[in-house]
């Protein structure tokens, strides 16, 4: 296995991949998603653990009761508890029995000690159920754990997608690649029949497309290529609260769709972590040629993918200053840009794109996918 040394956090040195499951907003099903993804990875043949990093409101003890409450020691460290199915777990709730009222300045120290004292051993994937928010605690966790990648969990609402946007920005700030975004609780099951039909039609009319424009805006702005929708199902929550992860059941009732989505996410986590360890698969670089006022886009091996005029590339910026968010109308037109505009500095952004600082003072973020589409359109 490919272990990693992470500062002084000795408990995770033999963990191959650490994946943060995050949401900036509570109540969107982050912990439920974490548990089901852990069991999905187990079904794919990987060893897996869950670290519940929410000191204030730990969910893991309710969702996954341990097979034994006996604490086993590994040298001076403690071994994580095991639950049904062979998943390793650790949560402050297993020790304290409830959420804590630890003040902010002490919280980072407590988390650091908690990570250090737990010996996870050789496991393929450690899923971190992150506390909600984008503050100092979340940033410190990313740095202490040396996270491989992150999965952001949201819900179909405008407010939830605003928070997803913030969450992606937070991980970008600490250079943690985004594996994908989960839009949870997308549909609601309602019995259709007789007098209920009119009610169903009314509810569907109110909820159809809620948050869709916000989802498209966030996904396109950050160049997120993986975005999954998990149907809203009562049994996902009920089973989780009862200690039985939804993906471990085989009942009918339309649950195959939801189980299939969890499987897609699990497979993407495996694929993405592998690619991230071998380097950004879609990495590109930019070289400017003054003579033709052209930008050359090159792949990770230095081979030219294509060329585009510097002025044209500048005009393709999709930030809020250049494009109206609600209508998609382009505010800046080609004839408004200086003929001699050129990139001054460039740099990769996570595993999905490139930032360009232009000679006119503007900064642009181009997802790799967009850059490839631009040069393809110019060829």
Tell me the per-residue pLDDT of 96-129, one tens digit each, with 9 for 90 and over. 655 455 555 576 777 878 888 899 999 999 999 9
Q: In whole angstroms, what is the distance from residue 149 CA to residue 351 CA?
A: 10
Strands (DSSP E) found in 197-352: 227-229, 284-289, 294-299, 304-309, 343-349
Mean pLDDT of the region 276-303: 82
Mean pLDDT of the region 329-356: 86
Q: In whole angstroms, what is the distance from residue 49 CA to residue 43 CA?
A: 13
End-to-end CA distance of the chain, in Å?
A: 44
Task: Give the pLDDT confidence score for residue 352 in this predicted structure.
Answer: 67
Token pair in block for residue 319: 């930030």
Q: In whole angstroms, what is the distance from residue 111 CA to residue 108 CA?
A: 5
Q: In whole angstroms, what is the distance from residue 191 CA to residue 202 CA?
A: 14
Q: In whole angstroms, what is the distance from residue 187 CA to residue 156 CA?
A: 9
pLDDT higher than threshold 90 for residue 40:
yes
Which of 20-24, 99-103, 216-220 shows the lowest mean pLDDT across its residues? 99-103
What is the band of 143 on the pLDDT scale with cuts at 50, 70, 90? confident
Mean pLDDT of the region 269-294: 83
Percent of the chain exceeding pLDDT 90 equals 37
pLDDT higher than threshold 70 for residue 210:
no
Q: What are phi and psi of 29, to 5 degrees?
A: 90, 30
C-alpha pair distances (Å), 143 with each of 3, 124, 200, 259, 348: 17, 19, 47, 32, 19
The whole-chain average pLDDT of the chain stands at: 82
Cα 45 off chain centre by:
22
Task: Give the pLDDT confidence score for residue 279 in this predicted structure.
Answer: 60
Domains of the chain: 10-277 (3.40.50.300), 284-378 (3.30.2020.30)
Token pair in block for residue 192: 């259709």
DSSP secondary structure of 293-336: TEEEEEETTS-EEEEEEHHHHHHT--STTTB-TTT--BSS-GGG
Task: Give the pLDDT confidence score for residue 250 in this predicted structure.
Answer: 80
């Amino acid at each position: 296995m490919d272990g990693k040394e992470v500062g002084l956090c000795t408990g995770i040195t033999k963990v191959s991949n650490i994946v943060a499951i995050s949401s900036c907003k509570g109540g969107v099903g982050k912990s439920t998603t974490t548990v089901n993804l852990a069991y999905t990875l187990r079904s794919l043949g990987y060893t897996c653990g869950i670290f519940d990093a929410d000191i204030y409101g730990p969910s893991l003890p309710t969702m996954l009761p341990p097979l034994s409450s006996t604490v086993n020691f590994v040298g001076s460290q403690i071994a994580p508890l095991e639950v049904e199915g062979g998943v390793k777990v650790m949560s402050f709730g297993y020790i304290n029995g409830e959420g804590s009222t630890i003040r902010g300045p002490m919280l980072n120290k407590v988390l650091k000690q908690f990570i250090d004292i737990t010996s996870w051993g050789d496991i393929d994937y450690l899923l971190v159920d992150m506390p909600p928010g984008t503050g100092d605690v979340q940033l410190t966790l990313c740095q202490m754990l040396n996270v491989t990648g992150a999965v952001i969990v949201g819900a179909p609402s405008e407010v939830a997608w605003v928070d997803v946007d913030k969450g992606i920005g937070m991980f970008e700030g600490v250079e943690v690649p985004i594996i994908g975004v989960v839009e949870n609780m997308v549909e609601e099951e309602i019995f259709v029949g007789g007098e209920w039909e009119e009610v169903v039609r009314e509810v569907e009319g109110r909820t159809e497309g809620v948050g869709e424009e916000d989802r498209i805006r966030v996904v396109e702005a950050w160049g997120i290529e993986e975005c999954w929708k998990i149907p809203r199902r009562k049994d996902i929550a009920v089973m989780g609260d009862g200690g039985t992860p939804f993906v471990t059941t085989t009942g009918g009732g339309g649950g195959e769709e939801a189980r299939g989505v969890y499987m897609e996410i699990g497979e993407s986590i495996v694929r993405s972590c592998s690619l991230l360890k071998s380097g950004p698969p879609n990495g590109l670089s930019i070289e400017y040629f003054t003579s033709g006022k052209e930008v050359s886009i090159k792949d990770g091996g230095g081979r030219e993918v294509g060329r585009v005029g510097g002025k044209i590339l500048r005009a393709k910026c999709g930030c809020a200053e250049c494009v109206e968010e609600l209508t998609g109308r382009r505010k800046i037109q080609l004839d408004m840009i200086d003929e001699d505009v050129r990139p001054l500095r460039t740099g990769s952004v996570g595993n999905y794109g490139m930032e360009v600082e232009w000679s006119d003072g503007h900064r642009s973020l181009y997802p790799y996918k967009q850059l490839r589409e631009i040069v393809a359109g110019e060829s």
